[in-house]
Chain A
């Protein structure tokens, strides 16, 4: 064949193979622009560096063991010590060992569970599968002895990261900011995890979403939004690792927000300008001063950055782990009040009472989601002023509509217990308030019965009577 034909062949083959490799250059965690904006750029750089250190990059994530994330672990023990590197023996399944191959293992956490280093964790720098030897990024504090047990964490994170990139990232974004490439076409917008808030939970109003809550959303989807159900496409273990990855992203976002907000106090973006006006010092001097202050802040072991991170992560552990304890899950103290016409009437009376449940203020007199609050200017807690646009807003600053209850679409689930929890504890991150403090459980059940009857109310005025048997708890027993 002529050289031209060969050349053509090479071009065609190259074209066929191109695009197969992961484009690593595009994958990076972008900073939370909204919150970073009023912060001085040097302080922003500190935040970026801190996050990189504790979370890594999207393709090289760090299993930071301080966080309440189940990173997945492989147990092992030390066989011998050779200078900086340890020869080890993993007692894991072969499939797990496969995922431990270098360089994927880099920056996984290594936690000693026995011996002189017990309880200490280190980041891994290198793992040699053929030699079964590994090296830590920072020097070990004491020399481990033969037989010392340890765990290596991070498999879930890597597995979850891959699944997230394939199934979630195009909407929820690389860093979980809800601003992926397809997000702009969606209404409502995909969730931004970085506040650490998820709307539809079973936990009480002050608690985070539990793993079960996230799992329910992943497997059932959210009707009325673009969040689809991922079961049966994703298997049980895939859901598990995805949930851990999403929690990890949420915690990363939370830490970022906290750090930026904290640094804003001392390192506001307009500080240079302000000080220059006040003290008549040159801007370069002030910049130098800021750099020096920041350096001290980062270096200070007791009152500086490290201490702040310690506090924030401590709070996060409490908050996220708290959601996993049985006590925080809302269980109605009394069974559902029988779904009778009378109960619905009582529910309706509460619904429209302006000094009771106050449902009417937002959801409107007939539950259409057109209460007067949707036409009013609302207070913005973040700024202390009012929102620019009329209507209700959520914690993400998006305009939202109260649910139109006549449509029969229940984003957080249509079971009576789901509606009970929504009414009792409110919806996190939205103006939907918890009413548990003022409304009795029986009354909440009346409200539930009424809300569930709204879609059928207008269709036939007698519906309340004919359908009243359908949802009664007492029917459960007969059904079997």
Chain B
């Protein structure tokens, strides 16, 4: 039975090492939801996760091995007495200071990523100055308002604004900012492939920025249980080249001004 407990405490660190190895490898291989990040900032957020994972793994493995060793030693020597450390000042200082240093290090180390992700003053200037769209979450869809091509997004709807639903288009390789709102209850704007997640709160306009670096259509979902139809808030982010993005806005504009007569020929052809 003594041997069993030794083996038991040695078994878990091995599992932990294998687990952390797998979890650090699979996203880059595309095996694991939602794959490698499509943004550089997302990659840095991932790196923070991995850093914490490695620290926790190291501590976990170390303590398990120490416990295994203690048990193993005790099971082999019947004469040796246990040493009671209760009340040891230096030991208490060590196990208070070491984790504090680690936590303090993490707190300082993540600051620039946090600032870049959350603090508007640190957002890339071009994104901050020209938000590309206003996204309003409501039960149970995403309503999107773009400014007319060549114009700036205004706080209040403008006569030439363009509207779409459940399909947010952004150009790639340039930082873009959106204004997030909620039309009713709390929702959460979640782009898993871009590592962007932000609650939408009624009465607030919350800016979010990201820079998609890959072409494609990515999931846009709601990450806050917002009612019975929560699952219906499954939309998409279309990250496309600047020209395609501009063509999309032009097409929206043409659609929105459609009077049964004037379909601009260039756009009509693209439709077919």
User: Which residues of A are interface residues toward B (Cβ below 8 A)?
Assistant: 167, 170, 182, 220-221, 223, 226, 228-233, 331-332, 334-336, 408, 414-417, 420, 445, 452-453, 455-456, 459, 463, 467, 470-477, 479-480
Contacts and interface: CB of A to CB of B under 8 A. Distances in A.
A479 B236 CA distance: 27
A408 B157 contact: yes
Given A226-B139, A228-B139, A476-B264, A456 B159 contact: yes
B65 interface: no
A415 B229 contact: no
Interface residues of B, number: 38
Contact of A182 (B160, B166, B228, B257): B228
B265 A336 contact: no
Interface in B125-157: 139-141, 143, 148-149, 156-157
Contacts, number: 98
Interface stretch (B33-41, B51-59, B247-255): B247-255
Contact of B165 (A221, A226, A475, A480): A221
B235 interface: yes
Residue from A226, A420, A474 having most chain B Cβ neighbours under 10 A: A226
A220 B164 CA distance: 8
Interface string B252-269: 011111111111111100
Contacts of B267: 480
B232 interface: yes
B190 interface: no
Contact of B257 (A167, A416, A456): A416
Contacts of A182: 228
Contacts of B255: 415
Nearest to A339: B159
A455 B157 contact: yes
Contacts of A456: 158-159
Interface in B214-272: 228-229, 232-236, 250, 253-267
Nearest to A463: B159
A220 B165 contact: yes
Contact of A415 (B140, B256, B261): B256
B167 interface: yes
Contacts of B139: 226, 228
Contacts of B60: none
Contacts of B259: 332, 335-336, 415-417, 420, 445, 473
A332 B228 contact: no
Contacts of A472: 257
Nearest to B167: A232
B261 A470 contact: no
B166 A232 contact: yes
Nearest to A232: B236
Interface string B158-186: 11100101110000000000000000000
A416 B254 CA distance: 11
A470 B160 contact: yes
A329 B213 CA distance: 44
Contacts of B157: 408, 455
Residue from B160, B163, B233, B260 having most chain A Cβ neighbours under 10 A: B260
A459 B156 contact: yes
A16 B144 CA distance: 40
Nearest to B257: A471
Nearest to B247: A480
A229 B159 contact: no
Given A414-B163, A420-B259, A223 B253 contact: no
Contacts of A420: 259-260
Contact of B266 (A453, A474, A480): A480
A445 B260 CA distance: 12
Cβ-closest 4 pairs across A and B = A470-B160, A336-B259, A335-B261, A228-B141
17 contacts: A221-B165, A228-B140, A228-B141, A231-B167, A233-B234, A334-B261, A336-B259, A408-B157, A414-B163, A414-B256, A415-B256, A416-B257, A467-B159, A473-B259, A476-B257, A479-B264, A480-B264
B163 A479 contact: no
Contacts of B166: 229, 231-233
A221 B142 CA distance: 11
Nearest to A336: B259
Nearest to B183: A223
Nearest to A453: B159
B232 A230 contact: yes
B261 A228 contact: no
A228 B142 CA distance: 9
A145 B187 CA distance: 62
Contacts of A414: 163, 256
Nearest to A416: B259
B216 to A, nearest CB: 14
B234 A232 contact: yes
Contacts of B235: 232
Given A182-B228, A471-B160, 9 more contacts: A167-B232, A230-B232, A332-B261, A334-B261, A336-B262, A416-B259, A470-B160, A477-B264, A479-B254
Nearest to B254: A476
A331 B234 CA distance: 34
B179 to A, nearest CB: 17
B162 to A, nearest CB: 10
A479 B250 contact: yes
Contact of B229 (A228, A232, A474): A228
A440 to B, nearest CB: 16
Nearest to B143: A223
B227 to A, nearest CB: 9
A230 B142 CA distance: 11
Contacts of A476: 254, 257, 262-264
Nearest to B165: A229
A456 B156 CA distance: 10
Residue from A170, A221, A456, A459 having most chain B Cβ neighbours under 10 A: A221
B259 to A, nearest CB: 4
Nearest to B157: A408
Contact of B260 (A167, A233, A331): A331
A186 to B, nearest CB: 10
A408 B156 CA distance: 11
Contacts of A167: 232
A160 B267 CA distance: 33
Contacts of B250: 479-480
A448 to B, nearest CB: 8
